[in-house]
A and B are shown apart, each in its own frame.
Chain A
């Protein structure tokens, strides 16, 4: 992709995100958020994040090639457990990466 189209894309996301951040601060008193929308928005983070994590873990080589000797799966399970127990980003990243490196060294 050319630098130009990248800049256009970044600008589109930047403006769109700014409009969402400003939305109700600007429109206060003139527009109310529909109930169904505010209920639905609660589930957006869990749904989108899971949809990002699972394929990236299951298919280490990209598009849809499942591999049985994939050390990312046990590493991700252990990292998820650490995230659940500690709620710490730093520990989740450190333990997940260390597990992946450990498994790769063992497999060599």
Chain B
């Protein structure tokens, strides 16, 4: 679809994001509830949400704060989780870099998993025409607003939720809901299994270093499985070619 005006593209971007909001709101609510349960003031919880604008990193930081991890570990872990944004930035850059800085900086701050997922294919197919950045800005802004409002709601609900509801279990559950779709083959399954097991056995390492060790171990396992599979695939195809030529 090509748009006649930037405004039209922006509004269509907002509309395209709306179906994704049911998956976002529960995370936001839990994040807000957890922040308040950690003893943070509403202003601080909202400040954290504005600065991070990254649900998984924020939930992880809250959990590590609860475990009494060192600030350096918390910052490092949150940034490792957000490394994926470098990938997103690289894949959207060809379509955004020509804009002036007063636009690239705000739209970069607004970059999220959801608007990346909605825009990356549409950008590369060229179907959005010359107002593609406006469409992206619409999805990104709608996502940002949904996230901020749902954390805000969680912050104000938080204080009224009794402890017997065991709501802290909702945090690993929400990570589980992100983890399962991220497993797309044997290599990512291997990364998850190795990362999870190292984390369980390394839990007694000081300063929560177990998490960083486990993450690196999982990534290495994924890379190893990927290269082993590539080798067996290519040697299998060589054998087939050999057989066919005979």
Contacts and interface: CB of A to CB of B under 8 A. Distances in A.
| Interface SS, A side | helix
B67 interface: yes
Interface in A27-47: 27-29, 33, 36, 38-47
B192 A50 contact: yes
B172 A45 contact: no
A46 to B, nearest CB: 4
Contacts, number: 268
| Interface SS, B side | helix
B94 A28 contact: yes
B120 interface: no
A44 B215 contact: yes
Given A47-B191, A89-B23, A90-B22, A16 B60 contact: no
A11 B109 CA distance: 14
Interface string A65-103: 000000010011001100110011110110011001100
Given A47-B214, A89-B26, A21 B88 contact: yes
Nearest to B183: A46
A59 B139 CA distance: 39
A49 B192 contact: yes
B42 interface: no
Nearest to B71: A9
Contacts of B143: none
A13 B79 contact: yes
A55 to B, nearest CB: 5
B211 A22 contact: no
B157 to A, nearest CB: 15
| B75, B166, B173 — most chain A CB neighbours (10 Å) | B173
Contacts of B93: 24-25, 27-28
A15 to B, nearest CB: 8
B221 to A, nearest CB: 8
Contacts of B132: none
A92 B169 CA distance: 12
B175 A24 contact: no
Contacts of B195: 46-48, 50-51
Contacts of B189: 46
A25 B51 contact: no
Interface in B225-245: 226
28 contacts: A6-B40, A6-B44, A10-B52, A20-B79, A20-B83, A21-B111, A24-B90, A24-B97, A26-B108, A27-B93, A28-B97, A42-B188, A43-B187, A44-B84, A45-B178, A46-B191, A47-B194, A47-B215, A49-B179, A56-B172, A56-B175, A64-B204, A84-B180, A89-B26, A89-B27, A92-B173, A93-B177, A97-B167
Interface of B: 22-23, 26-27, 30, 40, 44, 47-48, 50-54, 56-57, 60-61, 63, 65, 67, 71, 74-75, 77-90, 92-94, 96-97, 104-105, 107-109, 111, 165-167, 169-183, 187-189, 191-200, 203-204, 210-211, 214-219, 221-223, 226
